[in-house]
């Protein structure tokens, strides 16, 4: 028997899973885990359709770039973004597989929220210390590797792939880690967001492969609601995040973005 509340909890879960995938927080952290459990103790059954919604949202949002990259790959004329995605995917799979088979549960949810808060604090620090005299940690190294500004390099691929692999530890924010890593190499905020979003599909597919606790079969209607809300939320969130750096400026955006993880940790402590 399906009740109206089932559709409501499916929709809310889809929104939360999507938001936590694009912000420096995680639904496997203590606070969001508690919120989802309050909505529906069987919230994990919504993860598969919600993740599929996120995956299709990325492919739809970057459809032109994906099509262009596919055409270049066929012609064996891979550009810098294509090389970045290729190498970052390899490092994600290598590191992520190792984490998934032995280290995914190494942190408890409260500790994971604290780690995300530390990452958020690093982002806040990057925003506060923005100055012409203060350079990103690896900017000098990266400037010698880039042919043009904001072009991803092999070092970017390595750092992002390893960061994304580490994010398979339950509760660690993939977005928080990858964006912090990219900002550390001197990439602009908007470009860091774009690259982080582009590399997300390989992470999502691996999460689906290693996802536990989702064996229950959901009615098609409820699954579709979780998929749709996750898809729409992802499209809106990615679009907004990519516009905000130009509107707010690097300093304000990075500070606000990092503060989200700190606030979620504090809410988890108070809860």
50, 49, 51, 15: which is closest to 35 by C-alpha? 15
Mean pLDDT for the stretch of residues 141-158 = 70
Q: Which of 6-15, 75-84, 153-162, 231-240 has the lowest mean pLDDT?
A: 75-84
Contact status, residue 162 vs residue 168, Cβ threshold 8 Å:
no
Neighbours of 194 (CB within 10 A): 21
Report how far residue 210's alpha carbon sits from residue 73's, in angstroms, rounded to the nearest whole number: 29
Long-range Cβ contacts of 212-218 (<8 Å, 24+ apart):
213/44, 213/45, 214/44, 214/45, 214/47, 214/48, 216/42, 216/45, 218/10, 218/45, 218/46, 218/49
Q: What pLDDT does 178 receive?
A: 95
The pTM for the full model equals 0.88
- β-bridge partners, 134: 131
Question: In the predicted model, what is the mean pLDDT of residues 62-69?
Answer: 86
Predicted confidence (pLDDT) per residue in 151-194, tens digit: 888 999 999 999 999 999 999 999 999 999 999 888 889 999 99
Concatenating the DSSP letter of every residue in the chain gives ---HHHHHHHHHHHHHHHHHHHSS--TTSHHHHHHHHHH-TTGGGGHHHHHHHHHHHHHHHTHHHHHHHHHHHHTT---HHHHHHHHHHHHHHHHHHHHHHHTTTSS-HHHHHHHHHHHHHHHHHHHHT-BTTB--TTHHHHHTT-SSTT---HHHHHHHHHHHHHTTSTT--HHHHHHHHHHHTT--HHHHHHHHHHTHHHHHHHHHHH--S--SPPPHHHHHHHHHHHHHHHHHHHHHHHHHHHHH-HHHHHHHHHHHHHHHHHHHHH-
Res 210 pLDDT > 90: no
76: alpha, beta or left, given left = phi > 0 and alpha = psi -120 to 50? left
pLDDT reported for residue 131: 46
CA pair distance 117, 268, nearest whole angstrom: 11
Per-residue pLDDT at 134: 43
User: What does pLDDT average to over the chain?
Assistant: 87
């Amino acid at each position: 028997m399906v009740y109206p509340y089932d559709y409501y909890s499916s929709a809310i879960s889809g929104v939360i899973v999507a938001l936590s995938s694009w912000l420096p927080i995680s639904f496997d952290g203590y606070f969001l885990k508690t919120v989802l459990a309050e909505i529906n103790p069987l919230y994990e059954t919504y993860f598969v359709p919600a993740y599929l919604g996120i995956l299709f949202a990325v492919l739809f949002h970057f459809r032109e770039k994906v099509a262009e990259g596919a055409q270049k790959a066929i012609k064996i004329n891979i550009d810098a973004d294509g090389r970045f995605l290729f190498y970052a995917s390899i490092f994600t799979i290598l590191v992520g597989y190792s984490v998934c088979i032995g280290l995914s549960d190494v942190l408890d949810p409260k500790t994971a929220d604290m780690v995300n808060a530390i990452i958020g604090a690093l982002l806040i620090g990057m925003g506060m210390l923005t100055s012409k005299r203060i350079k990103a940690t690896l900017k000098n190294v990266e400037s010698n590797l880039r042919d043009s500004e904001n072009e991803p390099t092999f070092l970017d691929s390595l750092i992002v792939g390893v960061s994304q692999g580490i994010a398979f530890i339950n509760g660690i924010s993939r977005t928080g880690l990858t964006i912090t890593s990219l900002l550390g190499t001197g990439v602009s905020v908007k470009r860091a967001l774009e690259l982080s979003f582009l590399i997300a599909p390989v992470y999502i597919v691996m999460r689906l492969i290693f996802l536990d606790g989702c064996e229950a079969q959901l009615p098609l209607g409820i699954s579709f609601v979780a998929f749709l809300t996750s898809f729409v939320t992802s499209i809106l969130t990615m679009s907004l995040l990519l516009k905000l750096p130009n509107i707010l400026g690097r300093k304000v955006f990075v500070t606000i973005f990092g503060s989200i993880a700190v606030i979620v940790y504090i809410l988890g402590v108070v809860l």
